[in-house]
Chain A
Amino acid sequence: MSGLTEHGAAAETSAAARTKGLRKVYRGTVAVDNVDLEVPMGAVLGMLGPNGSGKTTTIRMLLGLVTPTAGSVELLGHAMPDGAPRALPHVGALVEGPGFYPFLSGRENLLRFAAAEPLLSSSDIPRAVGEALERVGLSGAAGRRFRGYSLGMKQRMGLASALLVPRRFVVLDEPTNGLDPAGTREVRTVIADLHAAGTTVLVSSHLLSEVEATCTHVAVLNQGTVVAQGELAQLLEAGGANLLVSTPEVTLAVDTLRDNRIPARPVPDGVRVDLTANTAPAVVEMLVRAGVPVHEVRRQRTGLEDLFARLTEDTAVGEIDDLDTLITQEAR
């Protein structure tokens, strides 16, 4: 009976993973509190947050490795951790660094984990392992003991074991740890390939450029709670837009704009104009009419870095209101 309702829920869900009011307390320390996370089906969601913000704990609860103190987790339509036998075969994960047997070779390690994969038939195992090794560029080193692998090679092994079977959902916790720039690019390619194939991906990272380059959605965690989540483009847009005008006549430009009640402030080589209430052409026209020589006009978007800094630093008290509206907007 419960199986039926579970199945029914799976049919109507559109999120690959969803948590509600998730809370985890470790011996009196609150690691994660009130996390409502939603990973839309087919999205590449970047999970951002400073060290200790609860990213890994949330992921571990998502995968049923840790039982939440309170709240619920739904993975591919199945309530976790009870639904683990149904959900996890379709989920590949690299969590908290790759765990392998140091005395076995790379290939033997993957063969071992492949043996435990419910969706792999015994005759398919050698092929699946070979392909996974190929995919992460470890075929050449597959016969060497895991003990002797470099940090980057170990990380690649973790990726290979997450990709042993075609997955519906892939979770990568800090996948580029220890990778050189080429390895980082390869991880991006892997994520892009997965996305193109319709796989939902959850990447946790503290490398913002990595997230900005690969993700469609972002969730920002700070001190154990989700402080913002939504589509990357929308979040960046909500951060407010500015117009950068380069001109030698900075004072004249600022005065003109302020006379017209348009917020502006001097920056090196020009002024930054707030576009909240105005359009770019109107601002440019106003400046030119006032005789300000305009050399260059450029729209400035809030970078993920600015957004992240605003969301995770406690200092900017003046921006709290603004921030709250941003969060409530995105939480809806």
Chain B
Amino acid sequence: MTTLAAPLPVRRAPMTRVLRSELRMVLRRPRTLIGLGLLALVPVVMGIGISIAASDSSSGAEGMAALVVGNGMLLPIFALSIAVVMLLPLTGAMLAADALAGESAHGTLRGLLMAPVGRGRLLAVKAFGVAAVTLLAVVMMAITGIITGVALLGGSGMLTASGTTLSFVDALGRVAVTVVFVAIQVWAVAAIAMAVSAYTEHPLIVVVVTLGVIIVSGVLSSIPALDWLRPVLIVTSWDAISEVIVDPLSWRPLVEGTLRALCYLAIGGSIAFSRMLTRDG
């Protein structure tokens, strides 16, 4: 035995090459491009709508919506707080659905498994693709939001809900905090979607189940008798975005929301991983 040469190390395709290839593929998919384009347009449309409504004077807007008038740097935050409820989770679910279920239906997942890309590695590559593109979507919304806000709604710096005014740089910081927070929330939703996606070949099922979870969570969180359930519902975190425009910034709800999202990420990720190890290719 000892005279035998040690077995050759397992050769793998360089991870960065596989990740780059994954990203290139996802960004070439027409669905992804259309989705990203539409999401980027959301703050623009909202900005136009708000500036028209504002010139109409006495609109009965409340909360953040009322504050956005003449306060352009708030637009990206406002837009993201609206999009995180449905549009962004839908995007995350769609990407996750295509990543495993869709590729399985096309037979391309099998091709990657036979290359071979290890099963755990393949899930990591797919998760990276979903995470990167959802982050891109959030960042794009923030950028078009800032541009539209500054151009159409104007204002110097950011007027907070507490009545103070932040400098432009501080306002950018608040937008950045929102971007990170929202991206993590969408990743949490996408992780649930990845878990479902690992079990099926039908992308539509993934989207339906994920949206179902979000809608049911929303309904449950609005029932006062079920208040005890709120801490475990993903939608609970999303109210925390309004904290971003309070001065001084109160981190607690944001951190709590992030931790909740990380729990979802861990659970969704583990389920997807355990299924990927045994999934038939």
Residue pairs across A and B with CB atoms within 8 Å: the count is 106
Cβ of B169 < 8 Å from any Cβ of A?
no
Least CB distance from A314 to B in Å reads: 30
Residue of A85, A88, A99, A100 with most chain B CB atoms under a 10 A cut-off: A99
Partner of B114, one of A7, A93, A97, A119: A93
Q: Which residues of B contact A85 (CB under 8 A)?
A: 10, 12, 116, 118
Q: Check B111–A99 contact: CB distance below 8 A.
A: yes
Q: Check B115–A96 contact: CB distance below 8 A.
A: no
Once bound together, how far apart are the Cα atoms of A234 and B112, in whole Å? 38
Q: Which residues of A contact B14 (CB under 8 A)?
A: 122
Q: Check A8–B4 contact: CB distance below 8 A.
A: yes
Q: Which residues of B contact A117 (CB under 8 A)?
A: 13, 115
Q: Check B10–A113 contact: CB distance below 8 A.
A: no
Assuming the contacts A65-B281, A88-B115, asked whether A120 and B10 have C-beta atoms less than 8 A apart, the reply is no
Least CB distance from B24 to A in Å reads: 8
Cβ of A6 < 8 Å from any Cβ of B?
yes
Once bound together, how far apart are the Cα atoms of A4 and B114, in whole Å? 24
Q: Which residues of A contact B111 (CB under 8 A)?
A: 99-100, 113, 116, 161
Assuming the contacts A85-B118, A115-B21, asked whether A65 and B1 have C-beta atoms less than 8 A apart, the reply is no
Least CB separation from A10: chain B residue: B7
Once bound together, how far apart are the Cα atoms of A111 and B17, in whole Å? 11
Q: Which residues of A contact B108 (CB under 8 A)?
A: 99-101
Cβ of A95 < 8 Å from any Cβ of B?
yes
Q: Check A86–B30 contact: CB distance below 8 A.
A: no
Cβ of A293 < 8 Å from any Cβ of B?
no
Q: Check A88–B20 contact: CB distance below 8 A.
A: no
Cβ of A223 < 8 Å from any Cβ of B?
no
Q: Which residues of A contact B266 (CB under 8 A)?
A: none
Least CB distance from B144 to A in Å reads: 25
Cβ of B252 < 8 Å from any Cβ of A?
no
Least CB distance from B8 to A in Å reads: 8
Once bound together, how far apart are the Cα atoms of A112 and B18, in whole Å? 8
Q: Check A95–B12 contact: CB distance below 8 A.
A: no
Interface string of A98-134 (1 = CB under 8 A from B): 1111111000100111011111101000000000000
Once bound together, how far apart are the Cα atoms of A89 and B4, in whole Å? 22
Once bound together, how far apart are the Cα atoms of A108 and B24, in whole Å? 10
B96-121 CB contacts (< 8 Å) to partner A: 106-118
Q: Which residues of B contact A84 (CB under 8 A)?
A: 116, 118
Q: Which residues of B contact A4 (CB under 8 A)?
A: 1, 4, 6-7
Q: Which residues of A contact B58 (CB under 8 A)?
A: none
Q: Check B106–A65 contact: CB distance below 8 A.
A: no
Assuming the contacts A96-B110, A104-B28, asked whether A115 and B17 have C-beta atoms less than 8 A apart, the reply is yes
Once bound together, how far apart are the Cα atoms of A155 and B109, in whole Å? 17
How many chain-A residues does the 8 Å CB contact rule pick out?
41
A214-260 CB contacts (< 8 Å) to partner B: none
Interface string of A61-103 (1 = CB under 8 A from B): 0011111000000000000000011101101010111111111
Q: Which residues of A contact B11 (CB under 8 A)?
A: 89, 118-119
Interface string of A1-39 (1 = CB under 8 A from B): 001101110010000000000000000000000000000
Q: Check A101–B25 contact: CB distance below 8 A.
A: yes
Least CB distance from B36 to A in Å reads: 15
Least CB distance from A142 to B in Å reads: 16
Q: Check A65–B114 contact: CB distance below 8 A.
A: yes
Q: Check A108–B107 contact: CB distance below 8 A.
A: no
Least CB separation from B117: chain A residue: A116
Q: Check A99–B110 contact: CB distance below 8 A.
A: yes
Q: Check A115–B20 contact: CB distance below 8 A.
A: yes
Once bound together, how far apart are the Cα atoms of A85 and B120, in whole Å? 12
Least CB separation from A84: chain B residue: B116
Q: Check B17–A103 contact: CB distance below 8 A.
A: no
Cβ of A60 < 8 Å from any Cβ of B?
yes
Q: Which residues of B contact A64 (CB under 8 A)?
A: 113, 116, 281
Q: Which residues of A contact B113 (CB under 8 A)?
A: 64-65
Cβ of B162 < 8 Å from any Cβ of A?
no
| Contact sample, A vs B, 21 pairs, CB 8 Å cutoff | A4-B1, A4-B4, A64-B113, A64-B116, A64-B281, A65-B281, A67-B280, A88-B115, A95-B114, A96-B107, A99-B107, A99-B109, A99-B110, A102-B106, A103-B29, A112-B21, A116-B115, A116-B116, A118-B11, A120-B13, A161-B111
Interface residues of A (CB under 8 A from B): 3-4, 6-8, 11, 60, 63-67, 84-86, 88-89, 91, 93, 95-104, 108, 111-113, 115-120, 122, 161
Interface residues of B (CB under 8 A from A): 1, 4-8, 10-14, 17-18, 20-21, 24-25, 28-30, 106-118, 278, 280-281
Closest A-B pairs by Cβ, 4 of them: A99-B107, A65-B281, A115-B21, A116-B115
Beyond A91-B114, A96-B110, A113-B115, list 13 extra A-B contacts (CB 8 Å). Answer: A7-B4, A65-B114, A65-B281, A95-B110, A97-B107, A99-B107, A101-B108, A112-B21, A115-B13, A115-B20, A116-B21, A118-B13, A120-B13
